[in-house]
Structure 1
Amino acid sequence: MDLSAVTSNIPSTKPGWVKTFARIGLIAKGIVYCLVGTLAFMAAFEIGGRSEQSAGKTGVFRFIMEQPYGKVLLGIVALGMLCYTLWRFIQAIADTEDKGTDAKGIGRRIGYAFSGLVYGALAFTAAQLVMGNSSSGSSDSRQTLARELLAQPFGQWLLGAVAIGTMAVGIYQFYRAYSDMYMKKLQASRIKPEMRDTLVRAGKIGYIARGFVWLIIGYLLLQAALNSNFQKAGSSSQAFQFLEENAYGSYLLGALALGLLSYGVFMFVRAKYEVINTDM
């Protein structure tokens, strides 16, 4: 595929526009993850009647809707996630990160596009709720994916490959945490010294927590493949429920929730201090 031909047809984008969209998107992502972590922690210790189902991203959207001026707030979050989506697509198509067109570079750019698709779907779900479609987000997207794959020839193998890929993403989150790769583009020197260590540690904990979520989701997809039962697949809310059902589940879920809250906080740090590339 000649990506340079595709890139040449993209209208010239002002660097300031790209940076603004990236930073707004990271703030919206931080808000969502902070709420996911908070609601998951509340679910772990049965605070405020919260359940694991209400701690997923669509549960977070419904929580926002319940607040004063909820539609306005959720609309702002939806626009923020749309900004994040567009930034990811710009990274993928225009190669602003200079990943190149070799196999590794294409893989990274596909990863950016996939991230854009995920957050684009979330932005759409949030927008549907704002517009009054209360049934939006009620179905589990991963169960839908599992059902569609299992209906295909060699469906169990296909779903198994998706499961392994999902778990590989989880392992990659661990690698990003322990290698300090997540700090690569962060202008840490601009952070106040008395806050730097805490914020950097929050990022490491956050990526580790996110890795565990991806691993559990991958495991659930693998169970769906092995049993040829799409209902065994699940999203983050099902991952929280899976964790809660194990020994010391409340404490495990509580720890994971704090990790996701840390990840959300680190998104705010990225929004302020990350170097956003705009060269195309």
Structure 2
Amino acid sequence: MPAILPSPAASLKVWARVGFASLGFVYLVLGVLATMAALGLRSSDAPSQQEAFQAIQHMPLGQVLLWLTAGGLLGYVAWRFAQALLDTENQGSAVKGLAVRGFYVFSGLLHAALAFYTAKIAWHGHLPPSDNTSQSTLRSVLHHDYGQVLLALVGLIVLGAGVVQLYRAWSGKFDTDVQVSPFTHAQRLLVHRMGQVGYSARGVVLLIMGYFCFRAAQHANINEIRDTEGCFKALQAMSPEALGAVALGLVVYGLYMFIQARFPILRRV
């Protein structure tokens, strides 16, 4: 009897769930490292994205975990593109709907870059010291005739994403992403609170990133752009409590993504 291959829709569901779990794993590790920094349990300052992947690499079977994480992130990318191209969220073709679907594409591209970054560390065993692809790309964008406008637009998109995350957190819109019917009332309330805390923390990080990106465009200075490490340092400069609150929020967001991976609502696939 010939083997029965899974349908494209079934494969997409599996990829999406693996993607949610992989993204949750990355946020969990990053949040734990940032929490340790807030508590003064790290010898170095706020953790960078590279340190998070190095921490994964130092776990048992770390190299395998890195490859699995890279592959899983590609699953999240596939789901983001499906949301945009297949309109799984029923956004439609009006201006607002196209804007939301465009954001799904933007998010997919960012996570594709993150998957590539993860795979590069897994391949080399570390990130090559000469690797400055993102910096070079941003510099080339800024040197374009309309570079400042393009960079400002990216900053506004990231700022908008942060606002959307905060809106989702406190409007309860994220509740439509997790199947809570198997849960008790207390469990549903706990998952809801986890979503609120996690999306809020993610929103704060995106707001900081967007702000610095917009400032970099305004001053035509690429060095003003901040990655996750720069965001953590900005929070740390406010107070250890500010960094700790956001760091714990990212830990919670990572756990929430694990729940979404286990009990997802995947519409129209």
Structure 2 Cα separation of the partners of residues 262 and 173 of structure 1: 14
Q: How many residues align?
A: 263
Superposition deviation, residue 266 in structure 1: 1.0
* Alignment equivalent of 1:263, drawn from 230, 242, 253: 253
Deviation at 1:144, TM superposition (A): 4.3
- Pairing 1:102–2:107 present: no
Distance 2:96 2:107 in 1: 17
Sort the Cα spacing of 1:244 and 1:183 in 2 relative to 1 into closer, same or farther, 3 A: same
Q: Secondary structure at the match of 2:72?
A: helix
SS in 2 for 1:189: coil
Q: 2:194 is aligned with what amino acid?
A: A
Distance 1:271 1:151, change over 3 A: same
2:20 is aligned, of 8, 20, 26, to 26
Which position in structure 2 is the counterpart of 1:139?
132
**Structure 1 residue 224 corresponds to structure 2 residue 220:** no
**Residues 176 and 265, structure 2, Cα contact 8 Å, conserved in 1:** no
Give the structure 1 partner of residue 33 of structure 2: 39
Structure 2 partner of 1:152: 144
Alignment check: 8 A CA contact 1:146 1:233 kept: no
RMSD: 2.1
Distance in 2 between the 1:32 and 1:155 partners?
31
Deviations 1:101-128 (A, max 9, x none): 2222222221211121111111111111
Partners of 1:239 and 1:130 lie apart in 2 by 25
Cα 1:210–1:145 change in 2 (3 A) is farther
Structure 2 partner of 1:233: 225
Listed as ranges, the gaps of 5+ residues in structure 2 are 1-5
Distance 1:169 1:144, change over 3 A: farther
Q: Deviations over 1:126-178 (max 9, x none)?
A: 1111111633595383x445423321224333322322222111111111111
* Cα displacement (A) at 1:13: 4.8
Normalised to the residue count of structure 2, the TM-score between the two structures is 0.90
Deviation at 1:211, TM superposition (A): 0.9
Q: Provide the rounded CA distance (Å) in 2 between the counterparts of 1:122 and 1:215.
A: 19
Identity of aligned residues (%): 35
* Equivalent residue letter for 1:96: T
Distance 1:37 1:274 in 2: 23
Could you tell me which amino acid in structure 1 is paired with residue 132 of structure 2? S
2:159, 2:210 within 8 Å by CA — same for their partners in 1? yes
| Cα-to-partner distance string for 1:11-51 (whole Å, 9 max, x where unaligned) | x9532211111111101111111111101111222214243
Displacement over 6 Å in runs of 4+: none
Asked whether the equivalents of residues 29 and 56 of structure 2 are also in contact (C-alpha less than 8 Å), the reply is no
In structure 1, runs of 5+ residues without a counterpart are 1-11
Alignment of 1:210 onto 2:202: yes
Cα distance, 1:106–1:135 mapped onto 2, change above 3 Å: same
